[in-house]
Homo-oligomer: A and B are copies of this chain.
């Protein structure tokens, strides 16, 4: 059986399909433009694929509360054409199959919990660190929603004592995203992070901010796995730096082997690699097909 998946990012869309084990069998990608251009491409992609269900993990903010009229819509984004757009409705009108729908990061967290680094766990958090910072939260076997959905990239962290950078978040200046996402790194150092050497002090500072937010998340939620994905996390030297900083922040307060001897296996890259988002979307589609509320 084929399950469709859409990973809808602010920069590019990925469409694909795969099987019930989460194996991606085909994918295409194209830039995110106005919905009038982009959504027909999505609909075209699935035309001859015979998918039994489709899961969508989308950039946000989104309406994720099934009881509200904005369910399935992209809501208050500044992205031209997408503010208030009925993304899910447009696809439902084209395909009479069950649909899964959540944020891109919640989708990735779910994919990791079903098939990836948090397989068999009932909780995990998934951070994507790229052009922005997003956090997906899976707890007690469910994806977390509430008033809206997690927006954990915008938490405030303590400023490094030697850091005078103002941050680039238009809402908060020096929130986590403003300090530690790609645009903040580039503004601070004058070059893209990918052009900085692996031993550049940028990475210690990056780890300082990410680890503080991760330690706070561990304290608040006690997740069974912390998964770090996205373009910035391709800098693998960040993982040991982040683990050390998380450990320093917690200072032994929470008694759990995962946070001491097993820390290398606790703060990890996505088990699904670059497929976390797409496979997570697929997992949402599969859950919808099976009538499982996630």
Binds B, one of A15-23, A156-164, A189-197: A156-164
Bound Cα distance from A212 to B176, whole angstroms: 13
Chain B residues, Cβ within 8 Å of A152: 219-220
Q: Is the CB of B155 within 8 A of A219?
A: yes
Q: Is the CB of B151 within 8 A of A222?
A: yes
Also in contact, A223 and B147, with CB within 8 A (given A155-B216, A159-B158): yes
Bound Cα distance from A248 to B6, whole angstroms: 36
From residue A214, how far is it (CB to closest CB) to chain B in Å? 11
Contact partner of A172 (CB less than 8 A), chosen from B137, B150, B251, B259, is: B251
B-contacting residues of A (Cβ < 8 Å)? Answer: 61, 75-76, 122-123, 135, 137, 139-140, 142-159, 171-172, 212, 215-224, 249, 251-256, 258-259
Q: Is the CB of A148 within 8 A of B219?
A: no
Chain B residues, Cβ within 8 Å of A147: 218, 222-224, 254, 256, 258-259
Q: Is the CB of A221 within 8 A of B150?
A: yes
Chain B residues, Cβ within 8 Å of A171: 251-253
Additional A-B contacts beyond A142-B142, A150-B220 (16; CB < 8 A)? A123-B144, A123-B146, A140-B143, A140-B144, A148-B222, A148-B254, A149-B222, A150-B221, A152-B219, A152-B220, A153-B219, A155-B219, A156-B212, A156-B215, A171-B252, A221-B221
Q: Is the CB of A156 within 8 A of B158?
A: yes
A142 nearest in chain B by CB position: B140
Chain B residues, Cβ within 8 Å of A249: 156, 172
A169 nearest in chain B by CB position: B253
From residue A125, how far is it (CB to closest CB) to chain B in Å? 9
Most buried by B among A144, A147, A217, A223: A147
Q: Is the CB of A254 within 8 A of B156?
A: no
A152 nearest in chain B by CB position: B220
Q: Is the CB of B75 within 8 A of A255?
A: yes
Chain B residues, Cβ within 8 Å of A145: 123, 140, 222
Chain B residues, Cβ within 8 Å of A146: 122-123, 139, 221-224
Contact sample, A vs B, 19 pairs, CB 8 Å cutoff: A61-B255, A137-B139, A139-B144, A140-B140, A140-B143, A140-B145, A145-B222, A146-B224, A147-B254, A147-B256, A148-B222, A151-B254, A154-B253, A155-B215, A155-B216, A155-B219, A156-B157, A156-B212, A220-B220
